[in-house]
Amino acid sequence: MIHVREALRADVPAITAILNALIDTTTTIYRNEPFPLADRQEWFDAQGAAGRPVLVGVDDGEVVGFASYGPFRDNERLPGFRFTVEHTVHVSEAAWGTGVGRRLMDELIVRAAAGGVHVMLGAVDSANKGSIRFHERLGFTEQGRLREIGWKHDRWLDMVFMVRRLDG
């Protein structure tokens, strides 16, 4: 039975492993080198200091997914963006299709709305049709497509912005 809870610092190695498993074989993350654990620990600490949630999906005691959000653009320098966030949600390949991503996002959306977020967006590689359908099932719509802005696996990549308003 999968349950969602607040991540603990002790979960950061599992979060890092989930991310790193996607780097070599997918275009989910526009990165070629694995994330160092220290980098993800720093990110986790910054999320906590900023009051932003980091959620994990746990199945039989094992972290199988995580979700969080951060500012869209630099909303400290550009405060007009302060009501918009960009989310991240990743699930270990073994847990794809189990509903953990949906449970994580449902909870993340509730928390974002309660925190005054007006718009949540996700940046999805255009080839990731499964993620685009996933976001559509959650009420996100495609609101922009940026052509050839990323490079990975010796080819140009297009980014799709999936967007959902959270308040009315």
Range from 8-12, 51-55, 88-92, 93-97 carrying the lowest mean pLDDT:
93-97
Which residues lie closer than 8 Å to 138 by C-beta, 6 or more apart? 102, 105, 106, 109, 164
Q: Is 50 exposed, middle or buried (0-12, 13-18, 19+ CB in 10 A)?
A: exposed
* pLDDT, mean of residues 1-16: 96
Instruction: Say if residue 76's pLDDT is above 90.
Output: no
The three state secondary structure string of 46-95 is HHHHCCCCEEEEEECCEEEEEEEEEECCCCCCCHHHCCEEEEEEEECHHH
Instruction: Say if residue 168's pLDDT is above 80.
Output: no
pLDDT tens readout for residues 103-136: 999 999 999 999 999 999 999 999 999 999 999 9
Which residues lie closer than 8 Å to 167 by C-beta, 6 or more apart? 113, 118
Look up the CATH number of the domain holding residue 26.
3.40.630.30
pLDDT tens readout for residues 28-71: 999 999 999 999 999 999 999 999 999 999 999 999 999 999 99
Is pTM beyond 0.85 here?
yes
Q: What mean pLDDT, rounded, does the chain reach? A: 96
Domain containing 11 equals: 2-165
User: pLDDT at position 1, please?
Assistant: 86
Query: How many domains in the chain?
Result: 1
* pLDDT, mean of residues 8-21: 98
Task: Give the residue among 29, 101, 30, 118 at the shortest CA–CA distance from 67.
Answer: 101
* 3 state SS of 7: coil
User: pLDDT at position 121, please?
Assistant: 98
- CA–CA distance, 35 with 23 (Å, rounded to integer): 9
User: pLDDT at position 61, please?
Assistant: 94
